[in-house]
Structure formats: C-alpha cells, structure tokens
C-alpha cells in the first residue's frame, strides 16, 4: 500500500508541477515588463524546488495523507479525464471560434480543471484534490466575472491562470510536506 501511495503521489505531483508551470508561464505574458519575466522565473524556480521534493519523496519518503483509490489506470480516472478533455476543447472551440471571445478562454480552462479536481477528489476520496478543485473553480469563475466586466487581459490571466498555477504548486507542496522520511533501524 505504501508503494502505491508513493507512486500515486509522485505521479500526481509531477503532473501538478508541470501544469502549474504551464499555467504560470503561459498566462504571465501580458504583464508589463519586468513583471512578466519575474513571474516566469519565479514560476520556474518554484517548479524546480518542488521537483526536487518529489525526487526526495520518490527515494526516501513515506507518503502522508489520503491515498488514491483506483489510481491513474482505472476506468473511472480515464472517464473523468476524457470528459475534462471534451469540455476543455469543446468549450475553447466555442469561446475562440464561434463567439470570438478569447478573454474567456483561460477562465474556462481554470473552471474545467477545477471541476475535474472536484470530481477526481470525490472519486478517489482525496480532500486535498477537492480543495484544489474548489479553488480553481472559484478562480475560473472570478476570471469570467473579470472578463464580463471589461478587466484587462493581464488581470484575467493572472487571476484565472497564474493563480491556478499557484494553487497547483500549493497542493503539491502540501502533499510533499505531509510526507516524511522513512526511518531505517540501525
């Protein structure tokens, strides 16, 4: 069980760091100089630190917290991810292509990813994922409100995009902090 928990936490954390980095790097480009560069560099540095923590857990850690039920190979997982993919791409085609309102794209992505984590957290009984899902859903909804009220694209992308990346990073950091060294008797 411990090995399954460690593998699940490591894979999930790597995915969280990669997508957190994507959210931060892609959505900080509208910031004025030098802030765009500062946010991107900080995002990369935090990603590197988190990846080092993940390597440590993979080698030495004992995972704390909830353990995924079903893992990344289960039918339930692929159904959730499949619906997420359909919602993401279908919504983006509608937002960008049909109605031509690209300022709603990042909020849509944050909203769909948030709902995905709520459903996944519920299916796997992982409160940390449900909490992440709630935060990302709120950030997505906030992005929609900002877009509807005429906020700048930079503001929309910071709230719905960069902060979604920060939420992913925070979730990974919490998972890492719940892990502890395995003590080998001497």
Per-residue pLDDT of the chain (186 residues; tens, 9 = 90+): 466 666 777 888 999 999 999 999 999 999 999 999 999 999 999 999 999 999 988 888 677 666 555 566 678 888 888 999 999 999 999 999 999 999 999 999 999 999 999 999 898 888 999 999 999 999 999 999 999 999 999 999 999 999 999 999 999 999 898 887 665 555
Confirm if 32 and 178 have CB atoms less than 8 A apart: no
Structure tokens at 184: 């080998």
Q: Quote the CA–CA distance of 156 and 101 in Å, as a whole number.
A: 13
Beta strands in the chain (DSSP E): 61-62, 180-181
Cα separation, 141 vs 126, whole angstroms: 23
Tally Cβ neighbours within 10 Å of residue 177. Answer: 11
User: Which tokens go with 79?
Assistant: 């159904």
**What six digits make up the tokens of 118?**
């709520």
Q: How far apart are CA 143 and CA 139, in angstroms?
A: 6
């Amino acid at each position: 069980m411990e090995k399954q928990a460690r593998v699940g936490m490591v894979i999930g954390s790597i995915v969280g760091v990669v997508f957190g980095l994507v959210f931060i790097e892609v959505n900080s480009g509208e910031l004025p100089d030098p802030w765009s560069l500062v946010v991107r560099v900080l995002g990369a540095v935090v990603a590197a630190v988190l990846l080092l923590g993940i390597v440590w857990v993979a080698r030495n850690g004992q995972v704390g917290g909830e353990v995924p039920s079903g893992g990344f190979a289960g039918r339930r997982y692929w159904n959730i991810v499949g619906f997420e993919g359909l919602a993401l791409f279908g919504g983006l085609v509608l937002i960008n292509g049909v109605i031509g309102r690209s300022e709603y794209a990042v909020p849509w992505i944050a909203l769909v990813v948030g709902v995905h984590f709520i459903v996944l957290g519920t299916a796997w009984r992982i409160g940390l994922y449900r909490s992440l899902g709630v935060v990302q859903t709120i950030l997505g909804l906030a992005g929609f409100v900002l877009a509807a009220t005429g906020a700048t694209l930079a503001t929309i992308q910071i709230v719905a995009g960069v902060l979604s990346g920060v939420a992913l990073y925070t979730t990974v950091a919490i998972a890492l902090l719940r892990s502890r060294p395995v003590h080998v008797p001497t």
